């Protein structure tokens, strides 16, 4: 994956990964891989919720807030990840004063 395709585009507001079944078992799809790279290399972590499963990030390129969560939490390991834009109001409501403008 090239670095340019890693960056979040202005028209993106949600990335949702999926499990892929293969002969070796289950693994994450390309979206899961992209989310992993984004949170490791591009996004700045700001806060996590009390459970530690939901994490708030800021995109340093455009300032948008992104939340990493696992919407299929009933699955083993929390299921595939999702990365979704959140408003500052919702981020403050969930993560408190740790969210700056």
- 64 versus 25: the higher-pLDDT residue is 64
Domain that holds residue 73: 14-98
pLDDT of residue 26: 79
Q: How far apart, in whole angstroms, are the C-alpha atoms of residue 48 and residue 55? A: 4
pLDDT of residue 25: 78
Residue 68: its H or E element: strand 65-69
Residue 47: its H or E element: strand 44-48
1: in domain: no
Q: Is the pLDDT of residue 75 over 80?
A: no
CB atoms < 10 A from the CB of 48, how many? Answer: 14
8: in domain: no
**Half-sphere exposure at residue 54, Cβ-oriented, CA atoms within 13 angstroms:** 15
Q: What is the mean pLDDT of residues 44-66?
A: 93
Q: What's the pTM value of the predicted model, to 2 decimals? A: 0.86
Q: What is the mean pLDDT of residues 66-79?
A: 77
7: in domain: no
What is the count of structural domains for the chain?
1
Mean pLDDT, the chain, integer: 87
pLDDT of residue 1: 46
5: in domain: no
Residues counted in the chain: 101
Beta strands 65-69 and 55-58, pairing class:
antiparallel
Q: What are phi and psi of 5, to 5 degrees?
A: -75, -15
């Amino acid at each position: 994956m090239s670095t340019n395709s890693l960056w979040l585009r202005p028209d993106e507001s949600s990335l949702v990964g999926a499990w892929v079944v293969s002969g070796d078992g289950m693994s994450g799809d390309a979206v899961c891989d992209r989310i992993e790279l984004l949170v490791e290399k591009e996004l700045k972590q700001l806060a996590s919720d009390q459970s530690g499963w939901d994490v708030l990030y800021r995109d340093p390129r455009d300032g948008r807030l992104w939340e990493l969560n696992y919407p299929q939490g009933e699955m083993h390991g929390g299921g595939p990840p999702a990365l979704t834009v959140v408003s500052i109001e919702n981020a403050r409501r969930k993560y408190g004063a740790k969210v700056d403008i």
